[in-house]
Amino acid sequence: MGFIKAVILALGLLVFGLIGFLGATLALLLSPVFPGLRFYSNSFFLEPFGWFARKVVGVKLTVLNRERIHSARPAIFIGNHQSGLDLAVIGQCCPVRSVIVGKKELKVIPLFGWFFWIAGNLLIDRANKSSAKSEIERVRKKLSERNLNLAIFPEGTRSKTGEILPFKRGAFYLAVSTGYPIIPVVCSNLQGKGIWEQFQLKGGNVVISVLPPMETGNLNLSDLSSFSDQVRNLMLEEYTRVSALAEDLDRR
C-alpha cells in the first residue's frame, strides 16, 4: 500500500507541478505589469498539492499557533526536514510572497523542478562550498530588494531517523544580515506516517507548531553559533512535545 501511495503522490506532483509551472510562467510574463506576481506561485502550488497529498496518505494535520505565520513580515521560516512529504505538511505554513531554498538537483524533476525554478525559488549546489557561499549572498540581496519571506530547512538534508540534525549556518547568516526575524516551524515525527522515500505512508495525525518570531536586530555575525544553538534547542524541545501530542491524537 505504501508503494502505491508513493506512486500516486509522484503522479500528483507531476500534475500539480504542470499547473504550477503554467501559472508561474504566466505570472512571470505579467511581471512588467504586476511586479513580483510570480512570488505568489508557491502558495498557489502548495495549498492544492498539500490537500491532495494528505488525502492520499491519510494525514490529519493540526497546526498550532497558525496566526504567528502572519505576525512578522518579512521573515525567515525554518523547519525540520524529514521527507519529501514536507511539501504537503510543513509547506502549509509557507506564507505568500515566499521563496524556498532547495538543492540544485530539484531542477531535474520534470514539471515540478521547472515550476520550482520559474516561481523564483533558489537552487543551491550544497556540494560546492564556495558556490554555496556566493549563493547565500545572492539570496540575501534578493530578499532585501524584493521584501520577500524565505523558507529553508537549516539541517540541509532530510533526517533519516526522525531526529533533528545539526543546523547549518546559512539561514542564521541571512537572518542576522537582513535583520529579519526567524520563525521556527516544528513538525512532529513522520516516521511510519509520511516518509515518502521509504514508502512509510500509513498516515495518521501530524502536528505542526509555529513558534514565536525570534528577533535578530540586536545580533551580529559573531552571534551566529550561539543563536543557531538557541533556536535548535527550542525546536528540539517543541519537537518532543508535538510528537507526543500527535501520538496521543492517534490513540483517541
Query: Mean pLDDT for each 10-residue chunk of the chain (252 residues)?
Result: 94 94 93 87 92 97 93 89 94 89 84 90 74 74 85 92 92 91 97 94 97 93 94 98 98 92
Which residues 6+ apart lie within 8 Å of 28 measured at CB? 37, 38, 118
C-alpha cell at 52: 491532495
Please report how many Cα atoms fall inside a 13 Å half-sphere around the Cα of residue 145, on the Cβ side: 8
Here the CATH number for the domain that contains residue 232 is 3.40.1130
- Bridge-based pairing of strands 204-210 and 98-103 is unpaired
> What Rg do the C-alpha atoms of the chain give, in angstroms?
17
β-strand pairing of 149-152 with 122-124: unpaired
Q: How many domains does the chain have?
A: 1
Q: What pTM does this model have?
A: 0.93
Task: Supply the pLDDT for residue 102.
Answer: 84
Residue 137 has a pLDDT of 78
Nearest to 48 by CA among 124, 115, 118: 115
Residue written as grid cell 506516517: 193
**Closest listed residue to residue 148, CA positions, set 71, 42, 75:** 75
Residue 129 CA to residue 193 CA, distance in Å, equals: 34
Contacts of residue 252, defined as CB under 8 A and 6 or more positions apart, other chains included, come to none
pLDDT given at position 31: 86
The helices-and-strands tally (H runs, E runs) of the chain is 6, 7
Distance between CA atoms of residues 56 and 60, nearest Å: 11
pLDDT at 130: 65
CB atoms under 10 Å from CB of 114, counted, come to: 20
C-beta atoms surrounding 86 within 10 Å: 19
Give the three-class secondary structure for 200.
Answer: strand
* Domain, as residue range, for 176: 2-251
**DSSP sequence for 40-83:** GHHHHHHHHHHHHHHHHHTEEEEEETGGGGGSSSS-EEEE----
Q: Helix, strand or coil for residue 214?
A: strand
